[in-house]
Amino acid sequence: MQWNKLEDEACSMARTIAVIGDRWTLLILRDCFLRVRRFEDFQQRLGITRPILADRLRKLVAKFVLAKVPYQERPVRYEYRLTPKGLDLYPVVMSIVHWGDVHMSDRKGRPLLHRHELCGKDFDPVLVCSECGEPLVPRQVHVHPGPGAGSPRHVPLGMDVPVPRQPARKRA
């Protein structure tokens, strides 16, 4: 696997990392979900340099994760809004935040709490099966090739993959 060709891999994880697998990009996405939209606000909140921020925003717009929308005409100024593709990253961002809350918080506890507006309670994100609603744990998930599976080199270890049988050698 070559780092600069991750988008070409037959691996959803590699393709996703090619788009969002940079620390600044993940922090920009976090702030987007916290309703930050304007270049200056991202820069101030993150302490990121203008060229790096411009580059990451440009890439997210090019991949249709963010949309660049004008909010002022003279001079023209833009804000960055999550697209439907970007909104689909919410579970990813929440899972990373939850991992940080569990494994990286100091003695004071979590820096932010998330409250569900419908029930009014603070929550932890939970990954559940889309079919039965049960929580997913790694030891209860079986992986098998999908229609976009590539060569056997792309298949994870432990996956059930038909292995071509070698013809038996003839004895002399």
List, in order, residues 6 or more apart from 15 with CB less than 8 Å away: 6, 7, 9
Residue 146 identity: G
The pLDDT profile of the chain, 172 residues, written as one tens digit per residue, is: 666 677 777 778 888 988 999 999 999 999 999 999 999 999 999 999 999 999 999 999 999 999 999 999 999 999 999 999 999 999 999 999 999 999 999 999 999 999 999 999 999 999 999 999 999 998 998 888 888 876 655 555 555 544 444 555 555 5
The reported pLDDT for the residue numbered 115 is 96
Please state, in angstroms and rounded to a whole number, the distance separating the CA atoms of residues 19 and 64. 10
HSE toward the beta carbon, residue 69, CA cutoff 13 A: 12
The reported pLDDT for the residue numbered 5 is 72
Q: Which of 53, 21, 22 is nearest to 36 (CA)?
A: 53
The reported pLDDT for the residue numbered 145 is 81
pTM over 0.95: no
The reported pLDDT for the residue numbered 169 is 55
Q: What is the fold, at CATH topology level, of the domain defined by 1-85?
A: Arc Repressor Mutant, subunit A (1.10.10)
The reported pLDDT for the residue numbered 164 is 47
